[in-house]
Amino acid sequence: MRATFAVLAKDLRLELRTFETLPAMVLFSLSTFVIFHFALGRSAVGGQLAAGILTVTLLFAALLGAGRLFVAEREQGGFDAFLLAPVDRTSLLAAKAAAMFLFLALLEVVAVPAFGVLLLGPALGPRLPGLIAVLALADLALAVIGTLVSAIAIHTRARDMISPIIGLPLLLPALIASARAAAPVFSVHGSGAPPGKWLLILALYDVVFALIAYAVFDFLLED
């Protein structure tokens, strides 16, 4: 745990100094919402359409951020230093996934209100806790898969292409579940509560892929 917190603190300090990852994710999301606002030609959206727009936007913003996760380690010899250190190697996975989760949470603090202003029909209000539950589970999936895919892609010359090629198929079940779970939250006449079935699927997806990432990360780090 000490190694995990040390790497996480290093990544957060680096982001505070450079502002390379989070501002790019925020700018991408806001630009996407503006494009949808004018391209759809509608004053407001709701239901499944609103859930789909938000989910897809957060997905591509997450892939944008995941591409930067291991750049410092690659350019400054951090992988070699971590392999030589007497620590559990999966602590690097946990630290990077935690950093990615924090970046996504901070992104949504800005992106969700902007989405509400530019596109959303029904006001969130009391439905906000349901949306937070969906986004938290979706963020965990994006953080785990994004970290795993980034660890694979960083060792290749075409890492900007490898991340979406591998990441998108792996994330499809989580994206479908997230959009289905968020649809009632954005529906004008719906209950406003995300269906428990889709939340359970999201949670199960998070557990399964977190265990898979934990099992294979040692081999990725060595290769």
- Predicted pLDDT at 13: 87
Q: Residue 78: which pLDDT band, with cuts at 50, 70 and 90?
A: low
pTM: 0.89
The ranges assigned to domains in the chain are: 2-222
How many Cβ atoms sit within 10 Å of the Cβ of residue 132? 15
Residue 222 has pLDDT above 80, yes or no: no
- Predicted pLDDT at 196: 87
Q: What is the 3-state secondary structure (H, E, C) of 131-187?
A: HHHHHHHHHHHHHHHHHHHHHHHCCCCCHHHHHHHHHHHHHHHHHHHHHHHHHHHHC
Residue 35 has pLDDT above 70, yes or no: yes
- Predicted pLDDT at 77: 63
